[in-house]
Amino acid sequence: MATHFDYGFVSADSHVTEPPDCYRRFIDPAYRDRAPFIRHDEKRGDLYVIPGQDNMTVPMGLVAAAGEESSQMTFNGRDFEDWHRSGWDPTYRLNDQARDGVAAELLFATVGMQLCGHEDLDYRRACMTAYNRWLQEYCSHAPDRLFGAGQVAVKNAADAVKRVTQELGGKSANILLKDVDLQEAVAHGVQKCFGNSGQSCTAPSRMFVHQSQHAEALEIAKRVAAGLDLGDPANPDTTMGPVANEGQYDKIQALIQKGIDEGADLVCGGTGKPGGLGTGYYVKPTVFGGVRNDMTIAREEIFGPVLAILPYETEEEAIALANDTEYGLSGCVYSSDRKHAVAVASQLRTGQVHINGANADFTAPFGGYKRSGNGREWGVEGFEEFLETKALMGAYS
């Protein structure tokens, strides 16, 4: 039985003796001169669904990559309500911060979900960054409430065959190998976890330390947490402000209590507001020790200043525990031997890994494995998400 490959037919036997034409272009320079010309067309438009808890880095990055004047942005509905109550102008546009003509339409996230699959709207891709479970928390009246926002977006887009690129959060692991400078690595890990009051999708909220260093790591983490200055974010001396809103505060409080109830060791912090900060949704910087990977605080994205420290006995166990999660957005590895850290990082099932505290790099692709989403932002790969690929046969380069 013949199989069609590129130019003409080749028999099954020819697979063994010589490569078919469709593969020859990669190994024969003469053939490459006759290969189809590949170009990329800009998509007609894109829809963005963006969480209000994040800063403007995500939307500005998406707008810069898209370069699409007709793009629409849909923001988290809960934050829309907060902004509306505070007098925020719902007709606000991003013209001063981004390209002219890019409108930030403040719509409820449920509307955004419906727009993802709207047959009459002329865009072929929906891009979303959100909590995967946000929709079921906010829209308890919705028939889709058993599904996360990301799942609903994909389901709604499927009928219209629209692409959906999603960044849906994470539960990032931070592996401290036994040869590490423990003081430096723990201190940096705590600061990274508590940055932006823990409201970061890449927050390294699961710290793995060797069993023999567990007690010392807890003491270091406790001292670092105690050294944070909580207060008004407008005060330059403040190192940690409140969380976004009451709903997020309540969720964090419930998960902290869950950690206590499930038997994790509360090292510092806990439920309730910090002393002297009764106004505002402030959360105590909280560290748990002796955490097991099956505990709720090690499984769910808390999106607040809560760090779980988990002991491990072998390097292989640390890698296995780090990968034992439904998420795969980011991660960290610390070691006194950079090559050793890279070898471990290469085994993590996650879209990015920061070696020895390396900062984010906007030239590198950003996106997740597993339930952390599909597609990539930033870097060359981020631009390619906004392009359609076209092959021109006969237009030899």
Mean pLDDT, consecutive 10-residue segments, the chain of 397 residues?
40 49 60 62 57 46 46 42 41 34 38 67 55 42 48 77 82 97 97 95 96 98 96 93 92 97 98 92 98 97 96 98 96 97 97 95 91 87 82 72
Q: Do the two domains 42-168+372-389 and 173-360 of this chain adopt the same fold?
A: no
* pLDDT of amino acid 161: 79
* pLDDT of amino acid 73: 44
What is the widest separation between alpha-carbon atoms in the chain?
A: 80
- Alpha helix positions (H), the chain: 14-17, 21-24, 29-32, 57-66, 77-85, 109-115, 134-138, 149-158, 182-194, 214-226, 246-261, 296-299, 315-323, 338-345, 379-384
55 Cβ contact list (under 8 Å, min separation 6) = 196
Q: Where are the domains of the chain?
A: 3-35, 42-168+372-389, 173-360
The DSSP code for 360 is P
* pLDDT of amino acid 22: 57
Read off the pTM. Answer: 0.76
* pLDDT of amino acid 388: 80
Q: Is 77 exposed, middle or buried (0-12, 13-18, 19+ CB in 10 A)?
A: buried
**CATH code for the part of the protein at 173-360:** 3.40.309.10
* pLDDT of amino acid 27: 59
86 Cβ contact list (under 8 Å, min separation 6) = none
* pLDDT of amino acid 167: 82
Q: Which two tokens stand for residue 230?
A: 């909580």
Residues belonging to the active site? 167, 201
**Candidates 3.40.50.970, 3.40.605.10, 3.30.1950.10, 1.10.1040.50; correct CATH number of 42-168+372-389?**
3.40.605.10
